[in-house]
Structure 1
Amino acid sequence: MPMTESPDCDLIFYTNPMSRARIVRWMLEETGATYRQEIMEYNTTMKSEAYLAINPMGKVPAIVHKGQVVTECAAICAYLADAFPEAGLAPEPSGRAAYYRWLFFTAGPLESAVIDRVLGVKVADEQQRMVGYGNYEQAVDTLAGAVAASPYIAGDRFTAADVYVGSQIMWGMQFGSLPKRAEFEAYGARLSERPALKAAMAIDDELGQPA
């Protein structure tokens, strides 16, 4: 486990085990980087003046790496892949079309479609061109087609995009916000065998246990 308690660590991870920060924990474990965690609590330390100076939204996750602040899970995954190239989690720049496409499709249109559906937001047919996802079914079909096209979302090898896309798909199936389609289940089964994912889940599951 690459964490450290050293105050001099140049990579700080702000998290809560019951949040989307689990995505970033997985990504950190994939990089093998040494990092220091700061556990933030809802409505208290997340809203503190010190943390709002890092993320004015008062949400986790966030990282500070060598003085640089990055928030938003997809952005953190992409940043860490570039910051730790030895982990091989990003394609060469000339081969990043699918990598960027599906990373940001999932962070943008797909997540918006899912959240609107969960919240009961109804988009009329004539309004669909106003929203990036068109409609929920179209967004899900599009992602399913991308997942089925290759072993991993950007091709034949695992990348940081799989950390984000895979997390959204696996959580979506677990909580019922995405259907348990064969494409999603096969993809999730491949990712669930990643040692880094297992390590990350063990850390956060332990942190999430009542004291």
Structure 2
Amino acid sequence: MSDLVFYTNPQSRGRIVRWMLEEVGQPYDTEIIGYDQMKSERYLAVNPMGKVPAIKHRSHVVTECAAICAYLADVFPGAGLGPRDDEKADYYRWLFYAAGPVEAAVSNQAMGWVPTPERERMFGYGNFDKVVALLDELFSHRNYVCGDRFTAADVYVGSQVMFPLQFGMLPEKDSFLRYRDRLTTRDAYKRATETDDRAQAQMQPAQPQPA
């Protein structure tokens, strides 16, 4: 058994971590956790929050997709996914911006919850349009979060762009589409997607056969 265990469900944000694991290229074991198992005593012993994804590495548990991506880049430096000295400011800035303001803004917008102008200052993102404009500016001037080199920050930030695009939750800005196209051509992304698609298909109940 590997000393790296990945707890996930293919219909979850676990797809982000699967991609990161494939980028890292280290052996890992996968445990698929059904939504009816997430509050079980067994899984709560791993993650008391009762949600996926999570990883256990040498008895240490890490949760939250952005934290897992940063952790894996750090403990497996040979993959070259962590930031160089001159990349650290952009790497941490945008990784945490995506994990906080971006996800909150996109989720709230999708649910139809929009802060009134007088309350925008209470929220880390201000309003949805400001988030879109800021990301559009970022990827209009660079190929990746840290410039011209792919890092672990792109796994997370890229996922926060690609998933909303897929479901019409972000406008199809040219900069977003170019960024998506760069990321989806990566071999690790393709492997991760194929693996999770197979796992998802296996979880579907068998269709009744015609008599």
Q: Distance in 1 between matches of 2:52 and 2:79?
A: 24
Task: Please state if 1:159 is matched with 2:151.
Answer: yes
Deviations 1:77-115 (A, max 9, x none): 000000110000011245310011111111100110011
1:123 maps to what in 2?
115
The alignment of Structure 1 onto Structure 2 pairs a total of residues equal to 203
Task: Write the deviation string for residues 17-36 of structure 1: whole angstroms up to 9, x where unpaired.
Answer: 11110000000000001100
Q: Which residue of 2 aligns with 1:61?
A: 53
2:87 aligned partner: 95
Verify: 1:31 aligned to 2:24, yes or no.
Answer: yes
RMSD: 1.0
Task: Name 1:42's counterpart in structure 2.
Answer: 35
- CA–CA separation in structure 2 for the residues paired with 1:144 and 1:79: 27
Match in the other structure for 1:76: 68
Name the TM-score, length of structure 2 as normaliser. Answer: 0.93
**For 1:205, which of 197, 205, 208 is the aligned residue?**
197
One-letter code aligned to 1:133: Y
1:20 alignment partner in structure 2: 13
Aligned pair partner of 1:193 in 171, 185, 201: 185
Quote the Cα distance in structure 1 between the aligned partners of 2:45 and 2:133.
40
Partner of 1:3: none
Match of 2:3 in 1: 10
**Which ranges of structure 1 fall in alignment gaps of 5 or more residues?**
1-5
For normalisation by structure 1, the TM-score amounts to 0.93
Query: Aligned to 1:205, what secondary structure does the other structure show?
Result: helix
Q: How far did residue 137 of structure 1 move?
A: 0.2
Runs of 5+ consecutive residues of structure 2 not aligned to the other structure: 207-211
In the alignment, the residues of structure 1 paired with residue 170 and residue 47 of structure 2 have an alpha-carbon distance, to the nearest angstrom, of 29
Q: Deviations over 1:157-199 (max 9, x none)?
A: 0000000111111111110111110000001101111000000
- Find the residue that maps to 1:188 and give its secondary structure: helix
The runs of at least 4 aligned residues of structure 1 exceeding 3 Å deviation read none
